Amino acid sequence: MYYHCRELKYVEYGKVYPPPESILDEDFKKVYKWLGYYCKFYPQVWLSRSHFSITGFKRTNIIKKRSWVIRKRQITKENINSVLFGFDILPGAFPVSYTYWDLIIFALLNCSNNIEEQNKQIIEYLNIMEKDCREHNEVDPEMQNWANSNRNLDVFLNQYLFKEVDQVVVPSLNLKVAKKIICRDEKQKKTLLKMGFIEDRVVIKNIKRFSF
Min mean pLDDT across 3-7, 10-14, 76-80 is at: 76-80
* pLDDT surpassing 50 at residue 142: yes
Average pLDDT over residues 20-38: 90
* pLDDT surpassing 80 at residue 52: no
* pLDDT surpassing 60 at residue 92: yes
* pLDDT surpassing 80 at residue 15: yes
What is the CA 7 to chain-centroid distance, rounded? 16
Min mean pLDDT across 23-27, 51-55, 71-75, 161-165 is at: 71-75
* pLDDT surpassing 80 at residue 60: no
Which amino acid, one-letter code, is at 169?
Answer: V
CA distances (Å), 189 to each of 3, 22, 28, 129, 164, in order?
A: 18, 31, 33, 48, 31
* pLDDT surpassing 90 at residue 45: yes
Model pTM score: 0.85
d(C-alpha 193, C-alpha 145), whole Å: 47
For residues 56 and 76, is the Cβ–Cβ distance under 8 A?
Answer: yes
* pLDDT surpassing 60 at residue 131: yes
| Residues linked to residue 70 through DSSP beta bridges, in sequence order | 65
81 versus 189: the higher-pLDDT residue is 189
* pLDDT surpassing 80 at residue 58: no
Query: Which is it for strands 202-204 and 180-183: parallel, antiparallel or unpaired?
Result: parallel
d(C-alpha 25, C-alpha 80), whole Å: 23
